[in-house]
Structure 1
Amino acid sequence: MRENREIAHTFDTLADLLEIEGANPFRVRAYRNAARVVDSISQNVAMMVREGRDLSQYPGIGKDLAGKIRTVSETGTLPLLEEVEKRVPRALSELTQIEGLGPRRVKALHESLQVNSLEDLEKAVDQGRVRELPGFGARTEELVRNGLKRLRGTQGRTLIADAEETAVHLERFLSGLQGVKQVTVAGSYRRRRETVGDLDVLVTCRPGVPVGKWFTSFESVETILSQGETRSSVRLRSGLQVDLRVVPEISYGAALHYFTGSKAHNIAIRKLGMARGLRINEYGVFSGDQRIAGRTEAEVFAAVDLPFIEPELREDRGEVDAARNGRLPELIRIEDIRGDLHAHTNATDGRSGLESMVDAARERGYEYLAITDHSQAVTVAKGLDVERLRKQLQAIDRLQEQYDDIRILKGSEVDILEDGRLDLPDEILRELDITVCSVHSRFNLPEAQQTERILRAMDNPHFRILGHPSGRLLNKRDPYPMDLERIITGAVERGRFLEVNAQPDRLDLTDTACQLAKEKGAKLAISTDAHSDSGLAGIRFGIGQARRGWLEKQDVINTRPLPELLKLLRNT
């Protein structure tokens, strides 16, 4: 069954090529919107098509687009895309992923330098021809050079959200097969790393069950790399490699520990075993030739006198010593979250209305939801000026009268300007319950200047949370240069908070930065930066990142009941 990201990618590619070609902007926007809508739907779109569901119920999806989505879901192709590809090489779409290159610049490269692929672009950069084009220059050429290196370095790495979609489908498929008992996707996916290289799937089953054969028949498989009774490997249409291992139940825990990793963590555990005269591998824990443990992971840890260590901590970053000394953190859980402090509506660049966002938060059982649409500087997102923001605050007041089970917090995602000022005047900021203050421009400032810019913004008495603190976009844009330790220290000194942005292409702060923030006594907010009602479900990705960063419930402000949260926000 085709995954949502496959379908969305088809429409994004079509939009890229049409924009490069110079097509009508409204037409381009329609296909871009189709990609966003498909990507935001929590259910599998291909399954919805099979069930005859009406896709035109979604905003911006008319009958024509719904028909095209149905075509891609059923066939994996789109005749219109094939037609456009005859005029514009498909590879040009990939170039738009490079920082500094939008469709217009890609078009200029294509027409002036005959760039049709990444290889052509690399040659043009190496020969110094890019800088000679009008509107480019040496600085843009260097941006492109760095972007090419980054793209090459991240090829083969899949965002955790995309890997999750595949993993969930695989688990359901395999778990539904007769004779299959246990199915777990292990590896870096189970450790909730922000990107994964491949998926390792472990299965237990009754003797004689042809799991390998069934596995290779999974409908997303493009290439069968190997097939056997206990081991099989495939490559999916998405390019992701999946390795299956059928293991005996007596070894399941040992195999799960081994294939979850990380390699460094496993080595540390094996060394503890060797010190006790034990041999630990994927088959079990052995004393001589006798297997003494391995049916569960807990048995493996107990064999070396350790409590269970959560998968997200297994990176050999102190978790073994912490376990040995009884200092393992009680990691935050998704159930601890009482509300979301960063969400957008269709008043700016969101895709859902105010009431729809609030209803989605209520369905999640939240006590509060902060509406934080962009401020005026983000013109591309139709950011709110003072007048439009005041109208939104009035709309929130009217809507709040309808609910007594959730508090709608009045907020804004306020741009941090180059000189450190906030993008809205104090007179309106003081009317807000919360501000998420973010950098959306001038990412290339020198480290000292970028650091001072953010610290100066924190001096504003209406500053509450530093949004997506490093500005990175996974596989697309590096963090901007800044002294993160100084910023964390500055936040603690000023009583400000840092965000763990749960957007899968951000996951910002990083796991190690979360750990550093915790060590320095900073408090954090785990928020989705949701741009649709379904986007609130993305909180799970932020939770995974926070757990990797050793965060506990008390480290996160939106685990607090509403009265306690409001007190925190007012005392900053």
Structure 2
Amino acid sequence: MRNEEVARLLREMGDLLELRGESSFKVVAYRRAARTVESMKEDLEAIAGRGELEAIPGVGKAIAGKISEFLETGRIEARDRLLQETPPGLAELLQISGLGPKTVSMLHQKLGVSTVAELEVAAREHRVRRLPRMGPTSEKNILRGIERWKKRSSRIPLGVALPLAQEILGHLRKVEGIGDLNVAGSLRRGRETVGDIDILATSPAPEAAIRAFVSIPVVEEVLMKGPTKASVIVEETIQVDLRIVDPRSFGTVIQYFTGSKEHNVKLRHVALSKGYSLSEYSLTRLADGEELFFDREEDLYHHLGMDWIPPEIREDEGEVEAALEGRLPRLVEPSDIKGDLHVHSDWSDGRHSIEEMVRAAQGLGYEYMAMCDHSHGLGIANGLAEDRLREKMELIRGLNEAAEGFAILVGTEVEIRADGKLDYPDEILSECDVVVASVHSGYHQREREMTNRIISAMESEHVDVIGHPTGRKIGEREAYEVDLERVLEAAARTGTAMEINAHPSRLDLNDRWSRRARELGVKLAINTDAHSTCGLSAMEYGIKTARRGWLERKDVLNALGLADLMKYLERG
């Protein structure tokens, strides 16, 4: 996205120059160049390679030099200098929706405002409304913009972004003429958090598609609306961008905007090595300048002599080399999952009965499900005392006699106590089909203590899976201190599976450690930890994390059919 990066930096330089009171001609020149660069279809690197940057309308010698500097070094020294010379708070104020350089400059001069915090105080004290061209409405909008700015400082969890994107895609699919349609960016790659939501589409009537997009009920504010691109705010703070692109370039464009940046840089090097220049719109043969267009990104990768690379692993972590050598893994798919090995019912802290959870799992086409309610040590979750667990076992055995083509596995999520001992004795654990051992308390133990605690649990012949192994909750709670390398080595030695907890607030193990587990030969269980029937749908988040960890079907415990799973669980 070099064109967009350059356009953003040029626009930022124009704003900073205006803040400093520089010549309006210079300010306008930077903004005009930014608009031109942003709307260009050809990649700036290709133009620079031909020495034709100054031929771009609105780009003179000085700005061309700065563009060239960025393409070569990744920075513009003049822009960095402007930032250093501008009070940090003033540059930050420009990020508040609705505040341009003129307004920021006036607020600074008239009210002495230099930071967002100072502006908020001035607005709440009703000093802003007394300024020229301001008023109560402007003041209210400024406060609203500040609140959004505060919230946007944090990234959006995947569990929030994905359902929202799916809702928007659902609306767009109903728009007449919409053809290709998909999310891009870090959301398509399945990152656990994303900055915003990028959507790409094709349409013979782009302006009509844009009008339909900005009219979707969830849209709260339209930031920008052009003939082929629009940006809106939904859910108070989340920015969603839609681009309508040329159908013949859709494959190249979605590859480019899916990223990651590092992956795209590596792909450009591959293209250059084969005599091409790759931009977001086309592949240009350097020998004769002929442009090649791809409506499918698979065809682009194949043309470069590579296997198509799944979006989740486009992070420049060896995937390009593997694709060139034909050794990419066949990543786990939703259809590979045969069951869920960690769900809860209303016997402990779940919302639905075992029978209701079973019907929901059967509706997903599963062969089995393990009912793993909490052990008695977790009183806050209504954990089961031994007699209640035995009562539940009897119920499950009766339900299994009536079930056809589906197995309800007797399970437990047993607490790993602070000393590493388990919440149930071996006698009752031996009667369970699946034992998931987890930590829910004592998070502040030192790394060595926590590591030994978990390894001690894995030494039990009855423990099959370690649940949410780091205890983290994204955006809420950091992982406890634990030496995961030692834990995974112990898991490989004891044959204990590690969980990828698919709940979007956990995604634990994460992608990096899941890949390391795979390298050590440790099995992974992708479980939802569902506490309700709708919680079973979280499996898609776990699968995305597993794919980002390069996991194949053979690496996933619950990709085994029932017979093979039971053999594995009974291996001791």
Give the drift of 1:160: 1.3
CA offset digits 1:353-412 (Å, max 9, x no partner): 010011111111211110000011111110111011111111111211211211110010
- Partners of 1:154 and 1:563 in 2: CA distance: 49
- Partners of 2:499 and 2:236 in 1: CA distance: 31
Give the drift of 1:294: 2.6
User: What is the match of residue 537 of structure 2?
Assistant: 537
Counterpart residue identity of residue 221, structure 1: V
User: What is the match of residue 379 of structure 2?
Assistant: 379
**Secondary structure at the residue paired with 1:233?**
strand
User: What is the match of residue 480 of structure 1?
Assistant: 480
User: What is the match of residue 88 of structure 1?
Assistant: none
The question of whether the paired residues in 2 share the 8 Å contact of 1:273 and 1:280 is answered with yes
Off by >6 Å, runs of 4+ in structure 1: none
CA offset digits 1:303-346 (Å, max 9, x no partner): 32111000011011110111111110000001011111000001
Of the structure 1 ranges 414-423 and 361-370, higher mean CA displacement relative to structure 2 is found in 361-370
Query: How do 1:147-158 residues align onto structure 2 when only pairs under 5 Å count?
Result: 155-158=153-156
User: What is the match of residue 554 of structure 1?
Assistant: 554
User: What is the match of residue 125 of structure 1?
Assistant: none
Q: What CA RMSD, in Å, does the superposition of the two structures yield over aligned residues?
A: 1.6
CA offset digits 1:246-291 (Å, max 9, x no partner): 1001110111001111111011101111222211111111114321
Equivalenced residues, count: 423
User: What is the match of residue 499 of structure 2?
Assistant: 499
CA offset digits 1:121-154 (Å, max 9, x no partner): xxxxxxxxxxxxxxxxxxxxxxxxxxxxxxx899
- Partners of 2:153 and 2:356 in 1: CA distance: 37
Of the structure 1 ranges 341-350 and 170-179, higher mean CA displacement relative to structure 2 is found in 170-179
CA offset digits 1:414-459 (Å, max 9, x no partner): 0000000001111211111110000001111111111001111111
Relative to structure 1, the CA distance from residue 161 to residue 230 in structure 2 (aligned partners, 3 Å threshold; closer, same or farther) is: same
Q: 2:187 aligns with which of 181, 186, 189?
A: 189
Relative to structure 1, the CA distance from residue 526 to residue 154 in structure 2 (aligned partners, 3 Å threshold; closer, same or farther) is: farther
- Partners of 1:293 and 1:481 in 2: CA distance: 50
- In the superposition, the TM-score normalised over structure 2's length comes to 0.72
- Partners of 2:327 and 2:483 in 1: CA distance: 29
- Partners of 2:236 and 2:394 in 1: CA distance: 46
User: What is the match of residue 428 of structure 1?
Assistant: 428
User: What is the match of residue 200 of structure 1?
Assistant: 198
Q: Percent identity?
A: 42
Query: How do 1:553-572 residues align onto structure 2 when only pairs under 5 Å count?
Result: 553-572=553-572
Counterpart residue identity of residue 255, structure 2: H
**Secondary structure at the residue paired with 1:331?**
coil
Give the drift of 1:221: 1.3
- Partners of 2:277 and 2:223 in 1: CA distance: 31
Q: 1:178 aligns with which of 176, 179, 183?
A: 176
User: What is the match of residue 330 of structure 1?
Assistant: 330
- In the superposition, the TM-score normalised over structure 1's length comes to 0.72
- Partners of 1:154 and 1:556 in 2: CA distance: 36
- Partners of 1:562 and 1:177 in 2: CA distance: 44
Query: How do 1:60-71 residues align onto structure 2 when only pairs under 5 Å count?
Result: none
The question of whether the paired residues in 1 share the 8 Å contact of 2:415 and 2:438 is answered with yes
- Partners of 2:203 and 2:570 in 1: CA distance: 56
- Partners of 1:515 and 1:419 in 2: CA distance: 29
Of the structure 1 ranges 209-218 and 524-533, higher mean CA displacement relative to structure 2 is found in 209-218
The question of whether the paired residues in 2 share the 8 Å contact of 1:211 and 1:229 is answered with no
User: What is the match of residue 163 of structure 1?
Assistant: 161
Give the drift of 1:216: 1.2
User: What is the match of residue 269 of structure 1?
Assistant: 267
Of the structure 1 ranges 525-534 and 290-299, higher mean CA displacement relative to structure 2 is found in 290-299
User: What is the match of residue 309 of structure 1?
Assistant: 309
The question of whether the paired residues in 2 share the 8 Å contact of 1:468 and 1:506 is answered with yes
Relative to structure 1, the CA distance from residue 566 to residue 187 in structure 2 (aligned partners, 3 Å threshold; closer, same or farther) is: same
- Partners of 2:206 and 2:406 in 1: CA distance: 54
Q: 1:212 aligns with which of 210, 215, 220?
A: 210
CA offset digits 1:29-57 (Å, max 9, x no partner): xxxxxxxxxxxxxxxxxxxxxxxxxxxxx
Counterpart residue identity of residue 234, structure 2: L
Structure 1: unaligned runs, 5 residues or longer? 1-118, 120-151
The question of whether the paired residues in 2 share the 8 Å contact of 1:231 and 1:246 is answered with yes
Give the drift of 1:180: 1.5
1:244 and 2:242 aligned: yes
- Partners of 2:556 and 2:462 in 1: CA distance: 20
Relative to structure 1, the CA distance from residue 204 to residue 536 in structure 2 (aligned partners, 3 Å threshold; closer, same or farther) is: same
- Partners of 2:404 and 2:219 in 1: CA distance: 49
The question of whether the paired residues in 2 share the 8 Å contact of 1:450 and 1:482 is answered with yes
**Secondary structure at the residue paired with 1:244?**
strand
CA offset digits 1:503-526 (Å, max 9, x no partner): 010011100111100111111111
- Partners of 1:484 and 1:277 in 2: CA distance: 44
The question of whether the paired residues in 1 share the 8 Å contact of 2:188 and 2:258 is answered with yes
Give the drift of 1:245: 0.8
CA offset digits 1:35-91 (Å, max 9, x no partner): xxxxxxxxxxxxxxxxxxxxxxxxxxxxxxxxxxxxxxxxxxxxxxxxxxxxxxxxx
The question of whether the paired residues in 2 share the 8 Å contact of 1:293 and 1:303 is answered with no
Relative to structure 1, the CA distance from residue 154 to residue 221 in structure 2 (aligned partners, 3 Å threshold; closer, same or farther) is: closer
**Secondary structure at the residue paired with 1:212?**
helix
- Partners of 2:198 and 2:206 in 1: CA distance: 21
- Partners of 2:186 and 2:219 in 1: CA distance: 21
Give the drift of 1:295: 2.0
User: What is the match of residue 528 of structure 1?
Assistant: 528
- Partners of 1:339 and 1:459 in 2: CA distance: 26
User: What is the match of residue 516 of structure 2?
Assistant: 516
Relative to structure 1, the CA distance from residue 162 to residue 560 in structure 2 (aligned partners, 3 Å threshold; closer, same or farther) is: same
**Secondary structure at the residue paired with 2:179?**
strand
- Partners of 1:445 and 1:284 in 2: CA distance: 54
CA offset digits 1:163-219 (Å, max 9, x no partner): 121111111111111121121111111111111110111110014642222211111
User: What is the match of residue 440 of structure 1?
Assistant: 440
